[in-house]
Amino acid sequence: MQEIKFDFNNLFSVSVGNYHGVLESELNDIIGQLQDAHKHLVSLITDSNARKRLNLEWVMLPEQDVETVKSIQKLGKEIAKKYQNVIFLGIGGSYLGLKAAQDALAKDTPCIYFEGNNLDPDTLGPLLRKINPKKTFVVVISKSGETTETKAAFMVVEAWLKKTVGKNYGRQILAITDPISGALRKIVDAAQAKDVLSFRSFPLLKGVGGRFSELNMGLLHLAIIGVKIDDLLKGALAMKKKCLDENILRNPACLYAALHYLLYKNKGKDIAILMPFSETLKSTADWYIQLLAESLGKKYARKIEVKGREENWEQDKNQVLNSGRTPISARGTNDLHSIQQNSIEGENNKVTTFIGVEKFRTDISVPGKKDILSGIKFSELMRLAREGTEWALVRENRPNCSIIMPQITPYHWGGLLFFFEMATAYEGELLNVNAYDQPGVESYKNYMYYKLGKPGLPANICDEIKNNPLVKDPKYII
């Protein structure tokens, strides 16, 4: 089977000049640093306690229990056959990963809806008025059950089901949540104590953060939309082996991280554009936005403390970094008529990663005989557009690279996600940040909890919000 390829020609100075591209000497200078990063990651990956403690358990997801995968595949098929609609409630990785899979891989399936990822009443309300609750299955995904967007949506949807379906409404709900604790787990356990078919559940695995969890919490969705989970996991596993290669110069994820790190640190390229030349991969680019931004956008450096055989990470409050490239999702060819103008002639502070597809699932030839387009396949036009975009960027000394997918299949899509996850892990090592936490995300949540009067909020958080109110001067509002 053909594998995904990484073409990084246009990241080097030979293509885009010494000022904007990576010199081979610059790459050689950090080979030792890369080897240390590889060695550190491997040491953590091979330690099951460290994986769970430091949120690296996602690296084991391609090697899941066969029987567990079979049971999820079977349940997904049953849900797809029985229900006309399936609503997934979740935010962050619990939404973006599913939406990416939906757009890239879905076959003939029930109508799939994604809610609980915002607080806009103009989406959930009309949806529930449109569809039949008796023909709808609901999957709620939340580790704690406390995230405001998902919790609010679930409370509305649960009441909607209960009103029409009656006392057995819980048989149309499945929760993917913490296996032991949390508000949602309590709801599941209470319902199950009364009826084992009500509020069935799957576990969110310990040590797997949301943005790295598509191969955990996303498996039921994949089964419902007709994807062979085993094929996807095989693609991820094949990529995992490539991305753990100790030969740094043959390791695509390590090289991707290294080159972008050098362009960021040495050349001022702090904006990362991911542009798939495939409409069905646009949501995959959106998923990558969270992965990169939440993993590497950190205020403080990572401080590693070793006690006995255990390695623990803390924020080094004495070393403020404010690190991280800013990701932007785009798509070819649509955004060649918008963002590309800035990429070509705007500030040269960006690196573009293209995703090319060699063979589409379907193809169309342009009809006629007398036009230059006549007889040309859309796939060929797409290839020329991507090639032309590369050429235009190189002419203006704008660094770019390409990920080439043979096809958009579960195997290759699984490999694509795992490639980006491993690349992000390596870049976290190079930046010396904790790529698996997200302390900055908690700020707005704590503000909302304080204003809503949530009990148990720590006193220091309450004091910070109380003593630092938002100040709005009317003269600056017109």
Phi, psi of 128 (to 5 degrees): -70, -25
Q: What's the rounded Cα separation, in Å, for the pair 59 and 43?
A: 12
Q: What's the rounded Cα separation, in Å, for the pair 381 and 360?
A: 12
Q: Which of the residues are catalytic? A: 294, 337, 445
Tell me the helix, strand and coil percentages in the chain, rounded to 5: 55, 15, 30
Counting beta carbons within 10 angstroms of the beta carbon of residue 56, is it exposed (0 to 12), middle (13 to 18) or buried (19 or more)? buried
Q: What is the Cβ-side half-sphere exposure of residue 449, based on CA atoms within 13 angstroms?
A: 17
Residue pair 184/209 in contact (Cβ under 8 Å)? The answer is no
Phi, psi of 394 (to 5 degrees): -65, -40
Q: Please, what's the b/e burial string for 245-276 (b: 16 or more CB within 10 A of its CB; e: otherwise)?
A: eeebeebbbbbbbbbbbbbbeebebebbbbbb
Helices then strands (H, E): number in the chain?
Answer: 19, 12
Phi, psi of 325 (to 5 degrees): -75, 150
